Structures are given as C-alpha cells and as structure tokens.
Amino acid sequence: MAQENIYTDPATKSMEELVALCKRRGFVFPASEIYGGINGFWDYGPLGTALKNNIRDWWWRQMVECPPIGPDGEPVEIVGLDSSIIQNPKTWEASGHVGGFSDPMVDCTETKKRYRQDHIEVLIVDDKGCWGFPENNIDYIAKKLKKANVSRDDGTVKNLTDIDTSEYEKIIAPDTDKPGTLTAPREFNLMFDSHAGAIKSDENKVYLRPETAQGIFLNYKNIVDTMRVKMPFGIAQVGKSFRNEVTPRNFIFRSREFEQMEMEWFCAPAESAKWYDFWKHERMRWWESLGVDKANLRFRDHDDDELAHYSKMCVDVEYKYPFTAPGYGELEGVAHRGCFDLTQHQEHSKTKMEYFDQAAQLAAKEAGKSKEEIAAASKYIPNVIEPASGLTRAVLVLLCEAYTPDPDRPAGVYMKFKPKFAPIKAAIFPLVNKDGMPEIATKLYHELRQKYVVQYDAKQSIGKRYARMDEAGTPFCFTIDGDTLNDNAVTVRDRDSGQALAERLPLDQVDAFLAAKIAE
Ligand code: GAP
C-alpha cells in the first residue's frame, strides 16, 4: 500500500537514485555516453522528451494561446516568436554580454581545477586553518572535515568572495591538502563562440545565444509594426541557450546547453511596478499548476549587489531541490529590466525603439495633464518585465517532485506526475494473452492512441507491468480480464494508491475518464 505524503520533502530524496532511474527508464542520458560523456551536456530520452514537451506546451498554452487575465479583468496579450540562435554579434555587445557576462573564477595551481569564486565556502578555524569547499556539497564537506579532524561547528563559514585575496595563502582549496594554491579571481566570459562562414577571423566571430531574450528585443519593432499589438503586450519564446558554465553540476540543474522559456512584457514606464508585481504572482501560480507542492516553492528577492547588469529589481522563484534542501535553488527569475535593452539596441543599431501610445495620450489629455506630462505619457521606450525560466530546470523540478520511494511496491518507487504532464497517460493490459482479452485490449488501445500517449503491454506478469509503469509515472493502467468479456468494463489501477479503483470502468467511459483526469 502506498504511503501518502511521507516522502514529499525533497530533502529525503536521493539524487543518485533519481539519476539512476532517469537513465534506466529513458528520461535523461549523459550526452555522448559511449565516448565517456561530455561535462555539462545531456540527452533527453523518449520519456524525458515527452515530459519536457508537456511542460513546454503548458507554458505556451498559458502564456501565448490563453494568457492570464490582467489586473483590469481583461486577458493580457502575448504573441509567440522563434528567433535564430545565432544573431549579429553586435547584439551581444549592445546587450552587455560581451563586456559583462562573466563569472569571477579562481584557479588551483596544484590541481589545475577552476572554481567559481562565489561557489566556494571557507571554514575558518582559529588554530587549525581554513578549509575551502564547494558550497552545498554536503558529502564533500563531511569527508574533507573528517580528514582534517574538525567539525563545521568549530569555526565560521565565509564565502570566498568575502575574503580578501591577500588571505588566500591560508586557504586549503577543495581537492587538495596544501594551503595557498588558489589564484586571485579572474573574469571568464560564459558565451560560446564560433565563426560564420569559411574564414575563421575576428570579423566572422559569432556567439551562441546565452539567453533567448535578446532575440525578442531584436524583433520588438517587427512585432509592433506587423502584429497590431498595443501596449502593454508580451512576446514569448522557448528555445535552446548555451553558456560555457565553469562548474556544470547537479545533474541537469546547471548545464552548458539548456532550454529556456522567456517572456518579455513591454509596458509604459509608469505602469512597470504594477506589472512586475502581477507577473511575480502569476508565475508562482503557474509553478503550482504543475503540481509542485507549495511548501517546496518560495520567492527570493535579489539584493542590490546580485542584480544582473540589466536589472532594476529581480525576484527568483526557488524550489527546494534534494541537493539544496533544506535550502532552495533558482527556478525562474522575474526581472524588471527597465528600458535597458531597447535603449541599448537603439543606440547600437540606430533604429528608433520609441513607442507612440495613443491611448495613454488621450487619457492624459482627458485627465487635464500638462503639455510635458502628455508628451511623456504618449512617447516612450517601453519598460520590460521579464519572467525567465528554465525548461530543462522545470523538467528537473518535476522529476524531483514526482520521485516517490515506496518500499512496498515491486519497483520500490513511483513517479507521481500530475496526469497532464505524465509522459505516458495510460497503459492497456490484457490480463492474459488468450480468451479474447488481447482483441478487446487492442481495440481499446487503437481508440485511445488517437488522442493520448498510451502504451499496450502484454509482456510478463501484471506485477512487473505495473512496476514498469510506476517508474515511468503512468497514472492509470486499464486491465482487460476475464470479467470484461461479460461486463464490458476494465479494472483501473491507480498509480498513487497502488490499488485498483473500487468500481470497474465501462469500456465506453475510458476515454472520458482519461480526458477528465488530464484536464485536472
Ligand atoms: N533572460 C534572463 C536570463 O536568462 P537567467 O536567470 O540567467 O536570466 C533564466 O536565466 C533561467 O534559465 C534560470 O532561472 C534557470 O531556470 C535557467 N538557466 C540559466 N542558466 C542555466 C543553466 N546553465 N542550466 C540550466 N538552466 C539554466
């Protein structure tokens, strides 16, 4: 019998076991595995691709096709885009990525390893020195401190960014036992570059986009000129981004190739605070709609000193990942980008990005505003509110959230996806491969596959078939048994309880049953 609600805390889940399940069941494989893999790159298997597509489609549905109702009670307007991954390199000069998209890195002269400065924590113990370790790596910290015969409680923990570089000579870097091997921090640009055309020269240098957002800003004017959109409105895009992360880690959490779901919301500067607040809460509501437990989500406002170069205000939606628990890690950022990007592109491209707001002009006139106020309200470079989330990170969240150990089941675990996001919606089993059961099961399968991703499985014992579906996270199994021949009904095995539903389900109601569950 499944034990409800015991395992919902991600802190109790093992990433090692989750990664093994993902490999075993075809959710995620290491990229180029037969060649030993390649750090920071992952391939999504059949189930992982289906899960990712289901999340992407739900985001697109809720952002572009049926966006939320705005604060005034009217649906907001958002249009879709699919821009090129490689753009004119001037894009990245204007956006600040060529000059500023870098992380301060420190090198270890002993091990030749490179670390992000802000990812190293240092335990300072008065008489026993200073031990550096990668932030949040609990196993590593425990091993290293045990070796040095000190405990975390013996000293104070500081981030390496808070320690003067002149003090680095005292620090024993991660992965070594010698003090003083860390260099002073150096900036390391995160953009992958390449060359477009036959000649590898600086003139031909291009970049793989590190965010999908800039493709949206480049097309802002095209959209205004062609789509009859009126302020405020949004442009949404889903696609691959690339960052040469120095320390890709935690499975697919930080990869070098990943997918983003970004929406740039263009609005009048005077209304930007209202929309920042609106999108912040809308985005949290969306994450909850994926079936993520509220207790595992939270907001975190950025401090001024961690704001990105383009950002005026930013709040992260964070999730309690098994590797951050009891702490939380980033899932989505909602940033107030002001008019930074459009102003930069206006300056660098000499293309006017100003918007003439006829409605605002009329409202200002009717409100009896001064000439200057009317002018300011009617012509401006829009402000931008940007909810930017990771699609591949959303896959990780749903994998972590769904992973539910249950020692009483043959598989020892089941994946508790909300039916809407489950890669396989239902399985159809003939109890035995004779007595007319396969014929009825095949007929049902052929009907259901027209509308849903369903699987027909007649191999091995029913227990083994359930176990396979538990690991795939299939919410329902319909079994055609001896009674079906008489009552035209199936048993429904419910994944979460691990039990058959009390009522048998008539064959002609299976479609409606599934439709209702997926719509929830
Ligand atoms: N346009 C703004 C922007 O890109 P970001 O906070 O750098 O902002 C947005 O990225 C989201 O993209 C993050 O919240 C995260 O979900 C995802 N993301 C960023 N870097 C990632 C990486 N290396 N691997 C996987 N996902 C990543």
- Determine the pLDDT at residue 4: 42
**Which residue, judged by its Cα, is nearest atom 4 of ligand 1?**
211
As a whole number of angstroms, the distance between CA 227 and CA 64 comes to: 14
Among 163-167, 252-256, 307-311, 336-340, where is mean pLDDT lowest?
307-311
Tell me if 431 CB under 6 Å of ligand 1: no
Q: Tell me the mean pLDDT in the region 483-504.
A: 96
- Determine the pLDDT at residue 321: 96
Which of the four pLDDT bands, split at 50, 70 and 90, describes residue 138? Answer: low
Which of the four pLDDT bands, split at 50, 70 and 90, describes residue 136? Answer: low
As a whole number of angstroms, the distance between CA 445 and CA 507 comes to: 11
Burial class (CB in 10 A: 0-12, 13-18, 19+), 334: buried
Amino acid making up residue 31: A
Tell me if 245 CB under 6 Å of ligand 1: yes
The proportion of the chain whose per-residue pLDDT surpasses 70, expressed as a percent, equals: 97
Tell me the residue ranges of DSSP E strands in 320-407: 329-338, 355-356, 379-380, 383-390, 403-405
Domain 10-85+209-339+384-400 and domain 424-519, same fold? Reply is no
Tell me if 392 CB under 6 Å of ligand 1: yes
**Which residue, judged by its Cα, is nearest atom 21 of ligand 1?**
254
- Determine the pLDDT at residue 2: 40
- Strand-pair category, 205-207 with 120-125: unpaired
Q: Tell me the mean pLDDT in the region 240-265.
A: 95
Read off φ and ψ for residue 506, nearest 5 degrees.
-55, 140
Which of the four pLDDT bands, split at 50, 70 and 90, describes residue 134? Answer: confident
Tell me if 209 CB under 6 Å of ligand 1: no
As a whole number of angstroms, the distance between CA 313 and CA 307 comes to: 7
The average confidence (pLDDT) of the chain is: 93
Separation of CA 390 and ligand 1 centre (Å): 6
Which of the four pLDDT bands, split at 50, 70 and 90, describes residue 305? Answer: confident
What single DSSP character describes residue 304?
Answer: G
Tell me if 211 CB under 6 Å of ligand 1: yes
- CATH level 3 topology of 424-519: Rossmann fold (3.40.50)
**Which residue, judged by its Cα, is nearest atom 2 of ligand 1?**
388
As a whole number of angstroms, the distance between CA 88 and CA 72 comes to: 39
As a whole number of angstroms, the distance between CA 400 and CA 9 comes to: 10
Write down the domain spans for the chain: 10-85+209-339+384-400, 104-188, 346-381, 424-519
Do 165 and 356 contact (CB within 8 A), yes or no? no
Q: What is the pTM for the complete model shown?
A: 0.88
Q: Which helix (H) or strand (E) holds 442?
A: helix 437-448
As a whole number of angstroms, the distance between CA 18 and CA 473 comes to: 13
Ligand 1 atom nearest the C-alpha of 260 is 12
Check pLDDT > 80 for residue 257. yes
Residue of 81, 250, 330, 395 to mutate, ligand 1, most atoms within 8 A of C-beta: 330
Separation of CA 6 and ligand 1 centre (Å): 31
- Determine the pLDDT at residue 246: 84
Which of the four pLDDT bands, split at 50, 70 and 90, describes residue 307? Answer: confident
- Determine the pLDDT at residue 153: 78
| Those residues with Cβ within 8 angstroms of residue 368's Cβ, 6 or more apart along the chain or in another chain | none
Strand order in the sheet with 257-267: 78-81, 233-242, 257-267, 383-390, 329-338, 313-319, 297-301
**Which residue, judged by its Cα, is nearest atom 19 of ligand 1?**
390
Read off φ and ψ for residue 313, nearest 5 degrees.
-150, 150
Read off φ and ψ for residue 408, nearest 5 degrees.
-80, -5
Check pLDDT > 50 for residue 3. no
Top pLDDT among 81 and 165 is at: 81
Strand order in the sheet with 114-116: 114-116, 102-107, 186-189
Check pLDDT > 50 for residue 5. no
Separation of CA 206 and ligand 1 centre (Å): 21
As a whole number of angstroms, the distance between CA 134 and CA 39 comes to: 17
Check pLDDT > 90 for residue 148. no
- Determine the pLDDT at residue 232: 97
Check pLDDT > 50 for residue 6. no
Check pLDDT > 80 for residue 7. no
Helices first, then strands: H and E counts in the chain: 16, 28
Which of the four pLDDT bands, split at 50, 70 and 90, describes residue 1? Answer: very low
Query: Tell me: the pLDDT tens digits for 225-252?
Result: 999 999 999 999 999 999 999 888 899 9
**Which residue, judged by its Cα, is nearest atom 17 of ligand 1?**
390
Ligand 1 atom nearest the C-alpha of 211 is 4
Tell me if 331 CB under 6 Å of ligand 1: yes
Separation of CA 266 and ligand 1 centre (Å): 20
- Determine the pLDDT at residue 137: 65
The residue written with tokens 């031909």 in the block is: 204
| Those residues with Cβ within 8 angstroms of residue 259's Cβ, 6 or more apart along the chain or in another chain | 52, 56, 238, 239, 240, 241, 390, 391, 392
Query: Tell me: the pLDDT tens digits for 190-205?
Result: 999 999 999 899 899 9
Longest dimension (CA), the chain: 86
Tell me if 254 CB under 6 Å of ligand 1: yes
Tell me if 389 CB under 6 Å of ligand 1: yes
CATH 3.40.50.300 fits 10-85+209-339+384-400, yes or no: no
